[in-house]
């Protein structure tokens, strides 16, 4: 199967405040529709790799081809369009806007221009339903949700635009074991919708569920 | 992007900005307070200045250059002798001459069924007085009817007063207006869009009507002449002798040579003070918007980073913050206008003045408030637009 994501010699070195190598050049192929776990100890460069795969920051070297198209060298606006069209994110802290309703938070994930409010609400409700949250939760303030519910909402927000790739950064870090297991299962199930899922995690259960495990230590792939 | 998509996205942006403002009421209130106060000050001060100007006009308009005004210091019910007026009218520099006197500055005027009346001036005049002051009959009985000595019990209403009293068709001849408890049949409406604007807010009676109907005597008796510019002093001297050769009325020339300049200076100064005050407070408001919005952008960097990570362009994120500032400015403008008008109305009520306000003023100040708020929001918008998508990953 051809790789959806192809990294060749991708690395990151920052110049300030002192020249520091964050990620040593590495190669990585990710096939479409797979569940990939990026594991390793703290400071290993897992989140940096995820942020490069997610086009949140540009590498200082190497080549990043996505579905055959070279991404390195593209401008910020082009990368923003790329993220809007292809990627969904689940962050460690779920990052909901507490004052808004659950449904409004999920709506934020719809980046396709010209989608009217009724359609946005219907699509968002459907995404919430997919992660197991009903209409009662949809109308509640996000600030009133439990930790597990918040992560489910974050996953719904990432999936609502049906992205090709979902990148999740430590999605189970702050959750108890059963809830974390449920969230991982939910992310794994996203591959059934055709999404490729890249999970950055310390959680060994994620590695056990993954089609592919990428291990990083001190910025190097091992 | 198609027109339909653009409209949908604009609506979404507006809703998003409005939601952001509503969800942080403390911030929003802090943001709009400065501009709101600025707008209220500007509207209040300018409106009071305009109203004050109208009051000055009421006292001084009769004396503008190009107009000669003689006032009888001895109260008289009979008015001016017709032959004296005719002698003045025959003069070459005189375009029109006649009476326009103030009978009562603050009469109670009402519709018959109304419980409360309004305070409005009662004027007494004739066709010559109307011509001399540029007053026109908008509808109803012509100005010549004012000169009919047999016609009593009739009145003309200034069109502004007619509207305030709620007359729908005052010129039909079927309506009645009660002036200080005395009913008059309304036979027409008059308007003065020029220097004698207070006529539009007054009741106009012919002298026979006033003498026969009203129990009080007039507060002054004035003859007005519209003259060629530069001839006022000479005409005034002649009029003193021509109108009252026997000195029965003890006429006094009340035409100041520099009335126009005085009016312009006083009114202009008041408006400038109001505008400067509003502008200064508006500037403070703009800085408040910049500060509050900067703080808000700092506190929302995770949210803005999230939007950026999800693919929002820098332009769209900047536009969101700018839209928030614009909406806050619009709200501040509308509320400030209302507050300013209310303050001015209260001021006028305390002084028994009729509120005078330029129609375009609220629109102008709301526009100014939006512009000031947008200017204040510019820097925070640029900061918001430069939020890295990594902010979501790192926080």
Asked whether residue B85 falls in the same domain as residue B191, the answer is: yes
> Would you say residue B179 lies in a domain?
yes
Question: In chain A, pLDDT over 70 holds for what percent of residues?
Answer: 100
* C-beta atoms surrounding B10 within 10 Å: 12
Q: Which residues of B touch A114 (CB under 8 A)?
A: 1-2, 4-6, 8-9
> Would you say residue B133 lies in a domain?
yes
Does residue A70 surpass a pLDDT of 90?
Answer: yes
Does residue B364 surpass a pLDDT of 60?
Answer: yes
CA-closest candidate to residue A190, choices A213, A161, A170? A161
**DSSP H helical ranges for chain A:** 46-53, 76-86, 102-107, 117-130, 135-138, 147-159, 177-190, 204-209
Angle CA(B224)–CA(B230)–CA(B236) in degrees, nearest 5?
A: 40
Q: Which residues of A touch B312 (CB under 8 A)?
A: 80, 84, 111
Mean predicted confidence (pLDDT) in B181-185: 92
Does residue B57 surpass a pLDDT of 70?
Answer: no
Q: Which residues of A touch B6 (CB under 8 A)?
A: 114
Instruction: Nearest by CB to B309, from A76, A77, A83: name it.
Output: A83
Give how far B381 is from chain A: nearest CA, Å. 17
Give how far A132 is from chain B: nearest CA, Å. 23
How many structural domains compose chain B? 2
> Of B208, B228, B256, at which residue does a domain stop?
B256
Q: Are B311 and A111 within 8 A, CB to CB?
A: yes
Residue B2: closest C-alpha in chain A: A114
Mean predicted confidence (pLDDT) in B92-114: 89
Asked whether residue B283 falls in the same domain as residue B243, the answer is: no
Q: Are B390 and A51 within 8 A, CB to CB?
A: yes
Element (H, E) at B361: helix B361-385
Burial A166-200 (b: 16+ CB within 10 A, else e): bbbbbbbeebeeebbbbbbebbbebbeeebbbbbb
| CATH code (residue A67) | 3.40.50.300
Instruction: Nearest by CB to B23, from A54, A82, A100: name it.
Output: A100
Q: Which residue has the higher pLDDT, B40 or B381?
A: B381
Binned at pLDDT 50, 70 and 90, residue B65 comes out as low
Q: Are A54 and B5 within 8 A, CB to CB?
A: no
Q: How far apart are CA B61 and CA B24, in angstroms?
A: 52
Instruction: Nearest by CB to A91, from B8, B19, B392: name it.
Output: B392
Give how far A80 is from chain B: nearest CA, Å. 4
> Of B212, B228, B256, at which residue does a domain stop?
B256
Under 8 Å CB-to-CB from B362, ≥6 apart: which residues?
B43, B337, B341
Instruction: Nearest by CB to B309, from A76, A89, A104: name it.
Output: A89
Lowest mean pLDDT: which of A51-55, B186-190, B242-246?
B242-246
Q: Are B311 and A115 within 8 A, CB to CB?
A: no
| Residue from B12, B393, B394, B395 to probe the interface with A (highest A Cβ count within 10 Å) | B393
Which residues of chain B approach chain A closer than 8 Å at the C-beta? 1-2, 4-6, 8-9, 11-12, 15, 19, 23-24, 302-303, 306-314, 388-390, 392-393, 395
> Would you say residue B202 lies in a domain?
yes
Q: Taking all residues of chain B, what is their mean pLDDT, rounded to a whole number? A: 84
Contact A205, A32 (CB under 8 A): no
What are the tens digits of pLDDT across the range B275-333? 787 778 778 888 888 888 888 888 888 889 999 999 999 999 999 999 999 999 999 88
Mean predicted confidence (pLDDT) in B94-98: 92
Q: Which residues of A touch B1 (CB under 8 A)?
A: 113-114
What are the tens digits of pLDDT across the range A140-168? 999 999 988 999 999 999 999 999 999 99
Does residue A217 surpass a pLDDT of 90?
Answer: yes
Q: How far apart are CA B192 and CA B194, in angstroms?
A: 6
Interface size between A and B, measured as CB pairs under 8 A: 82
Distance of CA A74 to the CA centre of its chain: 20
What are the tens digits of pLDDT across the range A157-208? 999 999 999 999 988 887 788 888 888 888 888 898 889 999 998 888 888 8
- In a 3-state reduction of DSSP, which class is residue A199? strand
Q: Are B309 and A114 within 8 A, CB to CB?
A: no
Asked whether residue B76 falls in the same domain as residue B180, the answer is: yes
Asked whether residue B86 falls in the same domain as residue B189, the answer is: yes
Structure tokens at A22: 């964050």
CA-closest candidate to residue A198, choices A25, A29, A70, A79? A29
Q: How far apart are CA B35 and CA A183, in angstroms?
A: 48
Does residue B191 surpass a pLDDT of 90?
Answer: yes
Q: Are A82 and B311 within 8 A, CB to CB?
A: yes
How many structural domains compose chain A? 1
> Would you say residue B371 lies in a domain?
yes
Q: What value of ipTM does the predicted structure carry?
A: 0.90
Q: Are B1 and A114 within 8 A, CB to CB?
A: yes
Binned at pLDDT 50, 70 and 90, residue B336 comes out as confident
Q: Which residues of A touch B12 (CB under 8 A)?
A: 117
Does residue B62 surpass a pLDDT of 50?
Answer: no
Q: Are A56 and B390 within 8 A, CB to CB?
A: yes
Asked whether residue B184 falls in the same domain as residue B248, the answer is: yes
Q: Which residues of B touch A113 (CB under 8 A)?
A: 1, 5, 8-9
Q: Are B9 and A82 within 8 A, CB to CB?
A: no
Does residue B61 surpass a pLDDT of 50?
Answer: no
Integer CA distances (angstroms), B177 to B108, B160, B169, B171, B185, in order: 10, 14, 12, 12, 6
Domain range enclosing A122? 3-221
Does residue B395 surpass a pLDDT of 70?
Answer: no
Asked whether residue B145 falls in the same domain as residue B119, the answer is: yes
Residue B312: closest C-alpha in chain A: A80
pLDDT at B82: 85
> Would you say residue B172 lies in a domain?
yes
Domain range enclosing B162? 66-256
pLDDT at B267: 66
Q: Are A77 and B313 within 8 A, CB to CB?
A: yes
Binned at pLDDT 50, 70 and 90, residue B63 comes out as very low
pLDDT at B296: 87
Mean predicted confidence (pLDDT) in A97-117: 90
CA-closest candidate to residue B71, choices B255, B196, B230, B277? B255
Q: Are A95 and B306 within 8 A, CB to CB?
A: yes
Instruction: Nearest by CB to A113, from B5, B23, B314: name it.
Output: B5
The strand pair at B118-125 and B203-205 is best described as parallel
What are the tens digits of pLDDT across the range A3-36? 999 999 999 998 878 888 999 999 999 999 999 9
Mean predicted confidence (pLDDT) in B233-244: 83
> Of B225, B256, B287, at which residue does a domain stop?
B256
Instruction: Nearest by CB to A100, from B19, B307, B308: name it.
Output: B19
> Would you say residue B61 lies in a domain?
no
Lowest mean pLDDT: which of A47-51, B28-32, B44-48, B200-204?
B44-48
Question: In chain B, pLDDT over 70 holds for what percent of residues?
Answer: 91
């Amino acid at each position: 199967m051809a790789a959806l994501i192809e990294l060749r010699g991708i690395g990151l070195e920052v110049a300030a405040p002192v020249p520091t190598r964050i990620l040593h050049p590495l190669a990585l192929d990710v096939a479409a529709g797979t569940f990939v776990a990026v594991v390793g100890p703290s400071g290993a460069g897992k989140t940096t790799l995820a942020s490069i795969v997610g086009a949140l920051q540009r590498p200082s070297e190497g080549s990043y081809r996505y579905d055959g198209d070279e991404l390195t060298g593209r401008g910020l606006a082009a990368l923003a369009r790329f993220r809007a069209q292809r990627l969904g994110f689940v962050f460690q802290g779920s990052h909901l806007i507490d004052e808004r309703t659950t449904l409004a938070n999920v709506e934020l994930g719809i980046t396709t221009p010209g989608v009217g409010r009724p359609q946005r609400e219907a699509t968002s409700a459907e995404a919430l339903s997919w992660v197991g949250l009903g209409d009662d939760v949809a109308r509640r303030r996000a600030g009133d949700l439990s930790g597990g519910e918040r992560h489910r909402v974050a996953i719904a927000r990432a999936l609502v635009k049906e992205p090709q790739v979902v990148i999740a950064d430590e999605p189970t870090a702050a959750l108890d074991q059963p809830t974390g297991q449920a969230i991982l299962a939910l992310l794994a199930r996203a591959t059934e919708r055709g999404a490729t899922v890249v999970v950055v995690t310390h959680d060994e259960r994620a590695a056990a569920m993954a089609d592919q495990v990428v291990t990083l230590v001190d910025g190097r792939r091992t | 992007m198609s027109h339909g998509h653009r409209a949908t996205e604009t609506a979404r942006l507006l809703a998003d900005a409005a939601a952001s403002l509503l969800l942080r009421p403390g911030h929003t209130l802090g943001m709009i307070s400065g501009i709101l106060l600025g707008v209220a000050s500007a509207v209040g001060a300018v409106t009071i200045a305009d109203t004050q100007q109208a009051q000055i006009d009421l006292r001084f308009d009769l004396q503008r250059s190009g107009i000669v005004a003689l006032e009888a210091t001895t109260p008289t019910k009979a008015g001016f002798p017709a032959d004296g007026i005719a002698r003045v009218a025959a003069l070459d520099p005189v375009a029109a001459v006649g009476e326009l006197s103030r009978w009562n500055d603050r009469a109670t005027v009402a519709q018959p069924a109304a419980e409360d009346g309004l305070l409005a001036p009662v004027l007494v005049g004739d066709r010559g007085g109307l011509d001399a002051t540029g007053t026109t009959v908008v509808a109803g009985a012509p100005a010549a009817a004012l000169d009919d000595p047999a016609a009593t019990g009739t009145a003309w209403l200034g069109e502004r007063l007619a509207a305030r009293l709620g007359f729908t068709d005052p010129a039909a001849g079927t309506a009645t207006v009660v002036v200080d408890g005395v009913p008059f049949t309304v036979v027409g409406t008059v308007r003065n869009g020029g220097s004698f604007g207070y006529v539009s807010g007054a009741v106009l009676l012919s002298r026979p009507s006033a003498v026969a109907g009203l129990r009080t005597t007039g507060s002054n008796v004035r003859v007005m002449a519209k003259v060629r510019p530069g001839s006022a002093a000479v005409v005034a001297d002649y009029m003193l002798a021509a109108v009252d050769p026997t000195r029965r009325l003890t006429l006094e020339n009340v035409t100041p040579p520099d009335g126009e300049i005085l009016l312009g200076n006083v009114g202009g100064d008041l408006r400038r003070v109001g505008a400067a005050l509003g502008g200064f407070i508006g500037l403070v408001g703009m800085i408040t918007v910049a500060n509050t919005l900067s703080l808000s952008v700092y506190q929302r960097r995770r949210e803005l980073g999230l939007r950026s990570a999800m693919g929002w362009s820098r332009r769209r994120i900047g536009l969101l913050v700018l839209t928030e500032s614009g909406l806050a400015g619009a709200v501040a403008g509308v509320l400030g206008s209302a507050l300013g008008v209310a303050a001015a109305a209260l001021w006028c009520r305390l002084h028994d003045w009729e509120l005078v306000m330029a129609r375009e003023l609220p629109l102008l100040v709301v526009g100014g408030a939006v512009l000031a708020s947008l200017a204040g929001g510019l820097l925070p918008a640029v900061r918001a637009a430069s939020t890295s998508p990594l902010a979501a990953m790192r926080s």
